[in-house]
Amino acid sequence: MINGFKEFIMRGNVIDLAVAVVIGTAFTALVTAIVTSIFNPLIAAIFSADSLAGALVVTLPNKSEILFGAVIGALINFLLIAAVVYLVIVLPLNKLKEAQDRRRSAGVPAAVVPDPTTELDLLTEIRDLLARNAAAAPEQGPKH
């Protein structure tokens, strides 16, 4: 069970997911700070309230309240996050994909990447060079 857990933790996608969660949390904190520090006071000033959560409050007959301002704040927070994700991630990736599709349709290869050379490839090349040199050199006996 412990070995299976180690394998699970060491997978690349688990690490990537952890990094995404940490960055997402930091990004959410940034957007929340922008909403609470900039947008909340502006909207609250329009509705003459101390904060956005205190704006557009509807009191029900049983003395409970519906906080429309808090919902508007959460909506603004969501829209800001969605806009940044779209502008920073989705839009550039779509442009890159469109450019690759245009190159592909024009017959231009996306990128010519040579195959990576492995140790086995290098050893095979050295063996072949030594064999060619040995065949080309006349028999002169040992060279000491």
Is residue 12 in some structural domain? yes
Helix (H, G, I), strand (E, B) or coil at 59: strand
Query: pLDDT tens, 9-61?
Result: 666 677 778 878 888 888 888 877 887 788 777 877 787 777 777 778 899 99
Is residue 121 in some structural domain? yes
The pLDDT, as a whole number, for residue 95 is 92
Q: Domain range holding 90?
A: 1-130
Lowest mean pLDDT among 9-23, 68-82, 101-115: 101-115
pTM greater than the 0.95 cutoff = no
Domain count for the chain: 1
Query: pLDDT tens, 117-142?
Result: 778 888 888 898 888 888 887 666 55
42, 51 Cβ separation under 8 angstroms:
no
Which CATH number do you get for residue 100?
1.10.1200.120
- Gap between the Cα atoms of 36 and 25, Å rounded: 16
First to last CA, the chain: 60
Half-sphere exposure of 134 (CA within 13 A, CB side): 8
Is residue 57 in some structural domain? yes
Q: Which two tokens stand for residue 113?
A: 């990447």
